Amino acid sequence: MPPAQDIPKVLVLCGGLSPERDVSIRSGRRVAEALRTQGMAVTVSDADADLLQRLDATQPDCVLPALHGAGGEDGSLADVLDAVGIPYIGSSADSARIAFDKAVAKAAVRHWGLPTPDSVALPHSMFRELGAPQLMHRLVDRLKLPLIVKPTRGGSALGAAIVHDVNELPSAMVGAFAYGDVVLVERYIDGTELAVSIVEGDDGPIVLPAVEVVPDSGFYDYNARYTAGTTEFFAPARVSADVTRAVEELALTVHTNMVLRDYSRIDLIVSPEGVPHFLEVNVSPGITETSLLPQAVEAASRDLGALFAQLVRRAISRN
């Protein structure tokens, strides 16, 4: 056992006020237990109005934000932690902002010449002012059915819906607008859904085995993500060696070009022709019992606690 002064004090932040609060709490509890197995002194705290006072009182060596959604993944918390000078695990504020907004992330990916499904980002004000019926038909003419509709900001598939008929589009838009002011209408590719997690070590980023997602309902929605037994997972994914290389190259390019840090999860869809397409990126992936990052860690024969302990030490050494 190292001397007490050599044991890192880690503050795990979870909860928050986003719709993903419950998932965040589950992620925070799990990663805290994993770090405790590595002998670290871990405190779990909500990210609430008392955060700054709590940071002053506890003086952690490192903060691990296990927050999902706005306030955790949008760069705002990183800005606060940078301002008070406390090391933290995860991407910088600037990189997080690019990654968090799906429309912005897809624009960056297209700029780099990487494949991503065609899409339109539509603010609520424009949806209302241009007239929904006419606009819906124009979107379908441009993007073709089926479509997937989702908020541009936020995760866990909250507010997301697959549209097979133009008459389903208005209600899907309204459902997505309940979770944000801008909605992404994206061409739906019926292919193999994969999640590729990347962690950074001393020698650079490491691509973990891709996890294949097969929800019983056919749609990886909130229920399929967090209800045990409703989705099958395959790690590593059941794809060819050529597709695996293409998937890993795409994920690594996104992680590197967005200047992401410590860890990330890139979600992709592989078309029936075997072409991977970027969907979105997560700078604070879920760490619950059904989440994809822990499954990738296990498939790589690595220990979750040891991995995050390494990330804690990297974050402290950056300060």
- Annotation marks residue 226 as catalytic: yes
Task: Specify whether 72 is catalytic.
Answer: no
The answer to whether residues 206 and 200 touch, using CB atoms and an 8 Å cutoff, is: yes
Alpha carbons 312 and 63: distance in angstroms, whole number: 8
Q: Which of 88, 188, 220, 226 is catalytic?
A: 226
Q: Out of 15, 16, 20, 27, which one is annotated catalytic? A: 20
Distance from C-alpha of 92 to C-alpha of 74, rounded to nearest angstrom: 10
Q: Is 20 a catalytic residue?
A: yes
Active site residue 264: no
Determine which one of 73, 267, 284, 291 is catalytic.
267
Alpha-carbon span 34 to 270, nearest angstrom: 32
Tokens linked to 147: 């479509």
Rounded to an integer, what is the distance from CA 152 to the centroid of its chain? 13
Given the residues 97, 265, 284, 291, the one annotated as active site: 265
Three-point CA angle 20, 21, 26, nearest 5°: 100
Catalytic residue among 18, 45, 282, 284: 282
How many CB atoms within 10 Å of residue 305? 19
204 is catalytic: no
Find, among 61, 72, 96, the residue nearest to 13 by Cα. 72
- Catalytic-residue membership of 286: yes
Catalytic residue among 72, 180, 286, 305: 286
Give the active site residue among 45, 156, 264, 291. Answer: 156
Q: Which of 263, 280, 291, 305 is catalytic?
A: 280
Task: Provide the pairing of β-strand 263-270 with 192-201.
Answer: antiparallel
- Alpha carbon 25 to its chain centroid, in Å, reads 15
Radius of gyration of the chain (CA): 20
Residue 138 annotated to the active site: no
Query: Residues with catalytic annotation?
Result: 20, 156, 226, 265, 267, 280, 282, 286
